[in-house]
Amino acid sequence: MDVQLEASWKNELKGEFERPYFQKIATLLREEKKAGKIIYPPGKQIFNAFEFTPLSKVKVVILGQDPYHNPGQAHGLSFSVPDGVKPPPSLMNIFKEVQEDLGLPYPATGNLEKWAKQGVLLLNASLTVVANQPMSHSQVGWHLFTDEVIKHISTAKEHVVFMLWGRFAQNKAALIDAGKHKVLTAAHPSPLSAYNGFFGCHHFSKTNEYLQSVGEAPIDWAL
């Protein structure tokens, strides 16, 4: 795989691309495409999260599980969809919480690039998925790569807010130095669990309060 990665991330993670697990991911993606499988997001968008949010700018991490698996939805940012694409239910629940928490209106787009450009790393634990097959690449080795990303952020940075929604994301807390960073946990925004603690978590206001307390500019969550 020719990894098109933003320069600071490529320098930070260069050792990962030579490791056997990463070579296996690259081989698998080539073989599946050759076999006619459709992979999301498109190749040039697989590492979009890193492109929009260089390591030096990371202030917040929102961790998703894997990309959307329906046509036109995934574009390399967790929970986000391109302009003109209807926001999926989990994203609508995120917007509902933003509205309740901050009084902001529902946005006209589900594209979260504006958040990413302000330092919100929208990271999925798996960076690819086979069309119409959720979690189909959850066991191919991506988690080894994205776990390294989380550990690098924890080690190299200070005062980053990690939003961990749902049990899967919360299991990543072990990779984070909670003495240096702010870890916020809540239920997943999925319709199956949002009423079990995602709604009312106030993570967006809590994030801004923390960032301001350590001398960082708050995130403008309006889209």
Cβ-Cβ contacts under 8 Å for 38 (sequence gap 6 or more): 130, 131
β-strand 60-64 against 39-40: which pairing, if any? unpaired
- The verdict on whether 66 is a catalytic residue reads yes
Cβ-Cβ contacts under 8 Å for 178 (sequence gap 6 or more): none
Distance CA(98)–CA(108), nearest Å, equals 14
Of 66, 147, 177, 220, which residue is the catalytic one? 66
Is the previous residue joined to 89 through a cis bond, with omega within 30 degrees of 0?
Answer: no
Count Cβ atoms within 10 A of the Cβ of residue 86 and give its class: 0-12 exposed, 13-18 middle, 19 or more buried: exposed
What residues are labeled active site?
A: 66
